[in-house]
Structure 1
């Protein structure tokens, strides 16, 4: 197989589509430092199945996508396609019959890579096997990078052996052998798992056999139980039939008893109605007497209250009259004292006038004594007038209290008369219980008792009938 063309789109520094023609013989890429020569080699290794981001000089596989520049926005995907000449039909199946193979790898940011061969999506393992059969690949020593010659010189024997195997064209066989060993190991693991499943199925089969024997035993026991249940149901049905016949007989007897009881109840109810009709006049008289008695009781209570109030008022007026009499006596005594003092002052005034007439030289002194006596007399007159006014007020109040006492005594006599009249009306009503009323009441109670007994008998018969 011969490489023919390498096409890059959005891979690292190749933001625009770029193609590298790989002609027969020696093809070189020449350019200054930083122009992307190493990116061409890395793209070739990347499309051949390289999975190490470190080998791509990045922190992650998304770093192979163009990250943008000052005047260019970043790309969201990168794609590298490699065209291979398969004219000698050395590619493995199923690509042997294709003269041209186009291997492409596309990566979308954050979504991973996809591989295609001739437009058909394949696995990364298929691409790696394709290049391993051609003694090349992403990790092949045939792809020499910077510093790799010195690494090969100082490499371990195992690494040198890998280089010789690739040169001899057996690297693909080792890869297929490794894959076959993995498949063989997986097949052995599956066989072990099948043995475990077989043992589990055997255990389950033994359990199912036991359950089948138990099911057979259950069927036999179920048949016996059904036969016994049928016999038991027949016995119960026969007992129920006999019980139904007996209950029917009892029902007929109960119906007859119910009819008799109903007749007796109707008679008792008729008697009760008749007793109630006979009791109506007595009840009316009783209601009228009760109303009159109640009215008389209320009137008596009202009159008792009025009598108590009148007696209290009479007692209070008597106390007030006694107090007024005491005040009048005290005022009379005070008036008598004032009159005596007035007589004394008049006598003293007469004496002083006689002394003035008898002794003119004592005129000024006697005039002063006369003025003092005159002032005392005026004061005594004022006190007498005040006592007379007070006595008049006391007499007026005594007259008013005497009038109120006469009114209270008149109201007390009127209340007493009303109380006596209510008592006479109550005595005129006569006894509330009469022989006719007592007879009607006893007849009503007897009829009600007969009616209650008849109802109980009917309910008992109905209950017995419901049980049957």
Structure 2
């Protein structure tokens, strides 16, 4: 196979479509540094299946797409097409009969690469095998890059062997051998898996056979059960038929009894209507008496509550009066003590004045004692006045409490009179006793007994 031309579109610095003709013999690309000579070699390796972004001098494979410049926007894809002359028909199947092969690789930003041979989409592996059979490829030593000569000189023996194998045209055989070994290993794995599946299927088949035997046994037992059920149903049907005849006879007897009971019920209903007509006046009287009794009960409860409040107020006022009397007695004792102290001070003051008159030489000392006695007398007078004011306030409060006590006693007497009047009115009503009232009272007592029992049950439950 002979390379004829290389077409680049959007690959690295080749933003516009560029085509490199590769004639027979020696073809060279000449230019200054940075003009893109290395990009031509990288595009050739890229279209031959190179999958290392680092070998393309980039961080990712999308870096081979033109990234834009000052006056040109970036491209969204890149494509390289390599045209190969296959006139000697050395290409592997199914491309042996094609005189010209066009190998293209296109990459869209963020979507990955697509390989095509003569417009038909193929795998990257197919493209790599195509060039491996031709003793070349993306990683072939035949593609000499910068610094590779020194690397070949210092290479290890196994690397030199790879160069010789490629020069001898057996690199493709090694590649296909490796792929065949991988396929063989995958086939062996599949065979092992098939053996496992076969053993699982055999186990499942034995289980299904056992279940089939159980199903046959179940069918036989089910047939016997159905036969026994049919006989049992026939016996039950016969019993039910006999029971139906007996029930029909009982139904006829019941119909006759119902007719007789209906006639008796009609008569009883007529009697009940007559009794209800006779009971209407008694019911009205019972309703009036019940209303009066309810009103009297409410009035009695209200008067009881008022009496209790009045008695409580009287008790409180009695206690307050006793306390005030104790305060008055205490203040009177304090006033008597102050009066006695005042008399004592007056006696001492008279005595001091007499001593001053009898002994003029002790005048300053006695004057000083006189002044002290005067001060004590003034303090005693002030205390007496304060106690008198306190006593007056206590007496005023005692008078007020006495007035409130008199009011409470009057209110209590009024409440007691109202209570006695309500009691007399209740006695004037007399006993109201009717069958309906007696029945209602019985029902009330039963309900109260049930309420007491329910409360006791609740208390027991709460205690538990």
Match of 1:222, SS state, is helix
Query: CA shift at 1:425, angstroms?
Result: 15
Stretches of structure 1 lacking an aligned partner (at least 5 in a row): 464-468
Residue 62 of structure 1 and its aligned partner are, at CA, apart by 1.2
TM-fit CA distance, 1:295: 13
What residue is the counterpart of 1:79 in the other structure?
A: 79
2:6–2:82 Cα contact (<8 Å) kept? yes
Change (3 A) 1:43 1:359: closer
Cα deviation digits, residues 424-447 of structure 1 (max 9, x gap): 999999999999999999999999
What are the Cα deviations for residues 71-105 of structure 1, in whole angstroms up to 9, with x where unaligned? 22222111111111111111111111111111111
Kindly state the Cα deviation for residue 266 of structure 1 after the two structures are TM-superposed.
Answer: 2.1
Residue 87 and residue 268 in structure 1: after superposition, are their counterparts in 2 closer, same or farther (change >3 A)? same
Please give the alpha-carbon distance, in whole angstroms, between the structure 1 residues aligned to 2:398 and 2:344: 32
The 10-residue stretch of structure 1 (225-234 or 259-268) with the greater mean CA deviation from structure 2: 259-268
The CA deviation at 1:50 is 0.8
Report how far residue 226 of structure 1 moved.
1.1
Shift of 1:209: 0.6
Determine the C-alpha separation between the residues in 2 that align with 1:28 and 1:127: 25
Q: Distance in 2 between matches of 1:131 and 1:383?
A: 134
Post-superposition Cα deviations, 1:359-407, rounded to whole Å, max 9, x if no partner, equal 9999999999999999999999999999999999999999999999999
Scaled by the length of structure 1, the TM-score of the pair is 0.62
Change in 2 beyond 3 A, CA 1:259/1:133: same
CA contact (8 A) 1:279 1:440 kept: no
Match of 1:59, SS state, is coil
TM-align CA RMSD: 11.9
CA distance in 1, matches of 2:10, 2:462: 103
Q: Which runs of 5+ in 2 are unaligned?
A: none
Q: Matched residue of 2:88: which SS?
A: coil
CA 277–148 in structure 1, closer or farther in 2 if over 3 Å, else same: closer
Mean Cα deviation higher: 282-291 or 210-219: 282-291
Shift of 1:353: 48
Q: How many residues align?
A: 463
Q: Summarize the Cα distance change of 1:203–1:345 in structure 2 as closer, same or farther, 3 Å threshold.
A: closer
Matched residues in 2 for 1:356 and 1:163: separation? 154
Q: 1:388 to 1:261 in 2, by over 3 A?
A: same
* Larger mean Cα displacement after TM superposition, 73-82 or 411-420: 411-420
Report the Cα distance in structure 2 between the residues aligned to 1:362 and 1:32, rounded to whole angstroms.
Answer: 143
Instruction: Between 206-215 and 261-270, report the one with greater CA deviation.
Output: 261-270
CA offset digits 1:145-178 (Å, max 9, x no partner): 1111121122112111111111111111111111
Greater mean alpha carbon deviation, residues 167-176 or residues 411-420: 411-420
8 Å Cα contact 1:328/1:391 also seen in 2:
yes
Partner of 1:37: 37
Deviations 1:270-317 (A, max 9, x none): 333444556678889999999999999999999999999999999999
User: For the structure 1 residues 212 and 22, does the alpha-carbon distance in structure 2 shift closer, same or farther, using more than 3 Å as the test?
Assistant: same
For residues 299 and 366 of structure 1, what CA distance do their matches in structure 2 show? 81
Residues 453/28 of structure 1: CA separation in 2 closer, same or farther (3 Å cut): closer
- Deviation of the 1:264 alpha carbon: 2.0
Residues 295-304 or 405-414, more deviating: 405-414
Q: CA offset at residue 20 of structure 1?
A: 0.8
Q: In the alignment, is the contact (CA less than 8 A) between 2:286 and 2:434 conserved in 1?
A: no
Post-superposition offset of 1:114:
0.7
Q: Distance in 1 between matches of 2:49 and 2:315?
A: 136
Rg larger in 1 or in 2? 1
Q: Distance in 2 between matches of 1:461 and 1:335?
A: 66
Residue 268 of structure 1: how far off its partner (Å): 2.5
Q: 1:459 to 1:272 in 2, by over 3 A?
A: farther
